[in-house]
Structure 1
Amino acid sequence: MLDHQLRVFVTVAEKKNFSRAAEVLNLTQPAISQHIHALEEHYRARLFDRSNKKVELTQAGAILYSYAKKILNLHQEAERAVTDLIELVTGKIAVGASMTIGEYVLPRLLGAFAQKYPDVELAMTIGNTAMVFEQTLEGSIDIGLVEGPVEHAHLQVEPFLTDEMVLIVSPGHPLAGKSHATGEDLEPCTVILREEGSGTRVAAENALRQLEVIPSRIIVMGSTQAIKQAVEAGLGISFLSKWTIRKELALGTIKPVRLKDINITREFKIIRNRTRFQSRACDEFARFITSEEVIAALQARA
């Protein structure tokens, strides 16, 4: 019972609203209030300051919140450990992926994994590399898949797929007719980049450094789709993963341009928190997406 009450408490604290917490937990608002009241009676402390619009944690509530998160995480780890004892690949895996992987690679991986292990419940979160890095460290996701550089003493980092970055332009751009482009060709161009914290941003900046290019103008956009549309419209040029541009290349709405004497590649990486318990399902997922058969199938599609 206390475990359920703590889950209700954490949800209210994160949603800052009793009604929204009730919707998430599929409970009535009076039931939510009853659970919070029971916790306040148990700990003999007021946990929330309530107003008409939202609720805020009191000092006592903030202390309980930090412990409640740890308790719920430990409870989840205990359930996974017991499940593993009966040697069934079951349970839930929370996977976080940076944007390119999450939108263009991970759905195929999850689909194939779900066919092989139908009893595993899969949850996916997509954000930039910085967000996935933080969530893996804090333990809100079990496995992260990122395209940007990551390093931390608590993280196990393993490359699983090689990616190629492609220079793309609109069909009407002066570079579209060139067989190869040099750094000098790129100097006068407007370059469209992703936001800070993005692995694609890091890879594009590395490409510009290798080409010794300082763009005349830089435009920042928050998604790969927005960048592709901007390039199609002739707003500028960009560097994007080969995984993201297959449809546009087939339709001819953007053109790839080879770089003279240089190929821009990077590694997609699996990151896991080595200080946290890893279920058998997580281990099987990591093995699955690094298997030669799965990698070969992905590369063939690319």
Structure 2
Amino acid sequence: MELKDLNYLLVVRDTGHLGKAAQALGITQPALSKCIQRLEKSCSTRLILKIGRGIKLTEAGLLLCERAQKVLHLMQVTRQDLNALGSGAAGVIRLGVAATAAEFMLPHLTRELLQHAPTVLLEVQVGLNDLLQSRLRENKLDLILGYLPQENHEFVTRPLTEDPVVVAASSLHPLAGVHPTPEQLNQFQWLLPSSQVATRQWLEQRLRSGGYAPPRVQMESNTLSPLRQVLAQTHLLSFLSRRLLHEDMTQHALIEIPLPLVMMPRTFGWQFRSLSELTPAARLLVDLAEKRWQW
């Protein structure tokens, strides 16, 4: 089984068509068909099925693609590591970052990384934890810097710092400085992530357990941090990192609404598949963060 054949199979999966895959690869369709036949003979099973004018991968084909993606990435990382040893290049880090961590952790961490490895290429994706975990699972990220789920047996986790989530609003909000009753809180609407996001689900469950009504959501966003000015200029409530309120209070004029019932404890840290899969540059990034935020 050759690496070239595995790469060809991935292109077939992505295009869903042998002719388009052959064109993308710069080879003839008969040559691509022979490649698939070699793989099927090696695996002793069918990998693709013809569906109309296109193709569909069998269950075996999908499994081989999943494993092939990991093998090809590992070979790419190995080549990068060997080149780094020969040329002194620092390599590539594919980093997923939660929005809050991107604001209060990434700037310090990037500065220290570039001091130690000035030629490193840092590919950053900012997003919600569910999306980043999916990309880590698919081997499209090396590391996640964000909050650590309470139940997680899939990835290696390394805690770095605490960052609770609290009810936030404009400093001019009618509830400023007030421990609101259920009736007072229910007078106002919210800016929150979608109902599929774990922090919103936690907030709703805690409010219900304390005799409060579910939040009346008027605005939803896949990330809340960039929308702090919306909060500062409206009477919407939200659920934000306490650190964001403290670090940038003057600019955004946001405060915490005192409601201990829904102060969500949260730990920020690293998530990755295994230490052995990390490049030297990625391991350096992990070490730098653990030295700065000593858990």
TM-score by shorter chain over 0.5: yes
Query: Which one-letter code corresponds to 1:255 in the other structure?
Result: L
1:43 to 36, 41, 49: 36
Report the CA distance between 1:277 and its aligned residue: 2.2
Report the CA distance between 1:283 and its aligned residue: 1.6
Report the CA distance between 1:190 and its aligned residue: 2.2
RMSD (Å) for aligned C-alpha atoms: 4.2
SS of the residue corresponding to residue 151 of structure 2 reads: coil
Q: Distance in 2 between matches of 1:108 and 1:9?
A: 41
Q: Is the 8 A contact 1:168 1:257 kept in 2?
A: yes
1:181 aligns with 2:179: yes
Report the CA distance between 1:84 and its aligned residue: 7.8
Report the CA distance between 1:224 and its aligned residue: 0.9
Counterpart of 1:255 in structure 2 is 254
Query: Which one-letter code corresponds to 1:214 in the other structure?
Result: A
Q: Distance in 1 between matches of 2:267 and 2:154?
A: 20
Report the CA distance between 1:240 and its aligned residue: 0.8
Q: Distance in 1 between matches of 2:34 and 2:213?
A: 63
Which moves more between the two structures, 31-40 or 119-128? 31-40
Counterparts of 1:19-34 in structure 2 under 5 Å? 30=23, 32-34=25-27
SS of the residue corresponding to residue 121 of structure 2 reads: strand
Which moves more between the two structures, 152-161 or 33-42? 33-42
Counterpart of 1:135 in structure 2 is 135
Counterparts of 1:95-174 in structure 2 under 5 Å? 95-102=95-102, 105-174=105-174
Q: 1:289 to 1:89 in 2, by over 3 A?
A: farther
Q: Distance in 1 between matches of 2:209 and 2:232?
A: 25
Structure 1: 5+ residue stretches without partners:
22-28, 297-302
Report the CA distance between 1:149 and its aligned residue: 1.3
Counterpart of 2:192 in structure 1 is 193
SS of the residue corresponding to residue 240 of structure 1 reads: strand
Which moves more between the two structures, 100-109 or 79-88? 79-88
Report the CA distance between 1:174 and its aligned residue: 1.1
Q: 1:261 to 1:244 in 2, by over 3 A?
A: closer
Q: Distance in 1 between matches of 2:127 and 2:50?
A: 32
Q: 1:66 to 1:255 in 2, by over 3 A?
A: closer
Q: Distance in 1 between matches of 2:148 and 2:196?
A: 8
Counterpart of 1:26 in structure 2 is none
TM-score normalised by length of structure 2: 0.72
Q: Is the 8 A contact 2:81 2:91 kept in 1?
A: no
Counterpart of 1:300 in structure 2 is none
Q: 1:246 to 1:15 in 2, by over 3 A?
A: farther
